[in-house]
Amino acid sequence: EHFIGRIDKLDGQINSFITRDFDNAIAHAKTADKLRADGDARPLLGVPMAHKDNLCTKGVLTTCGSKMLHNFVSPYNATVVENIASAGFVSLGKLNMDEFAMGSDNEKSYYGAVHNPWDTTRVPGGSSGGSAAAVASGFIPVATGSDTGGSIRQPASFCGVTGIKPTYGRVSRYGMIAYASSLDQAGTFGKTALDCAYLLEPMTGYDNKDATSINRPTDSLVADILAADTTSDKPLAGKKIGVAKAYFGAGLDGEVEKSIRAALAKYEELGAQIVEVDITDPAITLATYYLLAPAEASSNLSRFDGVRFGYRCENPKDLADLYTRSRSEGFGEEVKRRIIMGTYALSAGYFDAYYIKAQKVRRLIVEDFLKAFEKCDIIASPTAPTPAYKLGESLDPASIYLGDVYTIGVNLAGLPALSHPVGMANGLPVGLQLIGKHWAESELLTTAHVYQ
Ligand code: GLN
């Protein structure tokens, strides 16, 4: 009731929820109370949370931020939704996002922009802007998100909360509406690394319904964090944190850089050693991502044809008209831009020159990361080059894409990474990104916890 009251009172200013599922939530909370009284010992039983609206929820609207799915009610739950419910969490509803998770400012949602709770004239980041803003506003302690190129980490940075994207294959993608399947991964938001871990731990694990789910034992994230040494002088002694010059180049806001440098100094005080590493030129990584992600998106989004799901145009003349108008009317500008870019990259005449070339560069980006990790345990960088910018600033698409420069390499390489708040730049939060080796979620969360 506390959280529902807060949402009712304040979300008019933030717009973080697309669907409020409060009646069900109250019923689930009452059941949780009863179960608790009867001896159910699940530690997270009854804890409120909410889902990004690209995770399918049985019986509850799943819009993906799009007009295309304005009336779509999934007949099944995504595996992560199922796992989170089994841990006892209570979902309060579905959170706003950029349409089909394409965007960095949450202004690309059919359901209206989300406002940053630190300054409601500014963007919350995206595409999981609703998740980040809801946690920052105290509407829910934790939320799910998804990250294809930074969509958890960048809004976490803009809203001053913690957010983690796990290793590719760690969390099932079954029931998460696909943007770019080889890059998509669900993860969590919380005020702290520990809160992120509480929600992430039950989400992880093998799922035979997702062909890219990896079958390996999952970590005890929460127990690892609680066992971390936070009392000694140098709890991070022996840990090597890699810093790449390429992450401090042109485009990085001066105030953001100051906060990041101060955070690195604090990590040194905690005993970590800062070492220099090389990573792929971020401009190359950016170009690679913005070929591959739209290529996969153009293929994934072909299923929205007005026949099987969601929006259908009025009075189609024939089948071609049905497809064309349903898609023209159902998709927003940014989604159409991605479909066109992706279709172009995949078309017969350009496939080798663009798509295949980008796949080869992707391989080199992975190798560069693995080489960097021979010299360090974790790589640190700014999460985003700037703090949250003004809503309606109408930046051109290419400058918005530039803002993803520090986060997208991680997805191309399938690595885990988090963003945690480290300071303020002109009154707005700044996040530090920590990138780990494959499967190092526990190490990342524990390190951020020691800092926090
Ligand atoms: N901003 C990036 C994009 O628009 C990343 C989005 C995401 O991670 N879903 O593609």
DSSP 87: T
SS3 content of the chain, % helix, strand, coil (to 5): 40, 15, 40
Parallel, antiparallel, or unpaired for β 90-95 and 17-20? antiparallel
Rounded Cα distance between 349 and 307, Å, is 30
- Please state the domain extents for the chain: 2-227
Rounded Cα distance between 294 and 71, Å, is 25
Ligand 1 centroid to 103 CA: how many Å? 5
Rounded Cα distance between 293 and 102, Å, is 10
| Helix (H) / strand (E) containing 147 | strand 142-147
Dig out the tokens for 116 from the structure: 């940053």
Pocket test for ligand 1, best of 104, 338, 339, 419 (most atoms within 8 A of CB): 104
Query: Please, which pLDDT band fits residue 252 given cuts at 50, 70 and 90?
Result: very high
Ligand 1 centroid to 149 CA: how many Å? 5
Ligand 1: residue whose CA is nearest its atom 10: 102
Q: Is 131 a catalytic residue?
A: no
Ligand 1 centroid to 207 CA: how many Å? 25
pLDDT, residue 348, reads 87
Q: What is the DSSP string of 90-145?
A: EEEEEE--SGGG--SSS-S-TT-PPPBTTBTTB---SSSHHHHHHHHTTS-SEEEE
Chain centre to alpha carbon of residue 407: 10
Q: Is 151 a catalytic residue?
A: yes
Atom index in ligand 1 nearest the CA of residue 289 equals 10
Please report the sign of the dihedral spanned by the C-alpha atoms of residue 203, residue 148, residue 101, residue 341: negative
Please report the sign of the dihedral spanned by the C-alpha atoms of residue 443, residue 157, residue 429, residue 426: positive
Q: Report the pocket of ligand 1 as residue ranges, CB < 6 Å.
A: 101-104, 127, 147-151, 179, 293, 404
Dig out the tokens for 286 from the structure: 């950016």
Select which of 127, 137, 146, 419 is catalytic. Answer: 127
Rounded Cα distance between 175 and 173, Å, is 6
Helix/strand/coil for 88: coil
User: Which tens digits make up the pLDDT trace of 277-292?
Assistant: 999 999 999 999 999 9
49 touches 84 (CB < 8 A): yes
DSSP 92: E
User: Which tens digits make up the pLDDT trace of 271-326?
Assistant: 999 999 999 999 999 999 999 999 999 999 999 999 988 999 999 999 999 999 99
Query: Please, which pLDDT band fits residue 395 given cuts at 50, 70 and 90?
Result: confident
198, pLDDT greater than 90: yes
365 touches 320 (CB < 8 A): no
Pocket test for ligand 1, best of 151, 153, 290, 333 (most atoms within 8 A of CB): 151
Q: What are phi and psi of 213, to 5 degrees?
A: -70, 135
ipTM at complex level: 0.98
Q: What are phi and psi of 313, to 5 degrees?
A: -65, 160
Q: Is 52 a catalytic residue?
A: yes
Dig out the tokens for 343 from the structure: 């279709």
Model confidence, pTM: 0.98
pLDDT, residue 419, reads 98
Rounded Cα distance between 429 and 182, Å, is 30
- Residue 314's CB: how many other CB atoms inside 10 A? 7
What average pLDDT does the chain have? 96
| Helix (H) / strand (E) containing 95 | strand 90-95
User: Which tens digits make up the pLDDT trace of 53-68?
Assistant: 999 999 999 999 999 9
250 touches 385 (CB < 8 A): no
Q: Which class is 2-227 in CATH?
A: alpha beta
Dig out the tokens for 191 from the structure: 């005020």
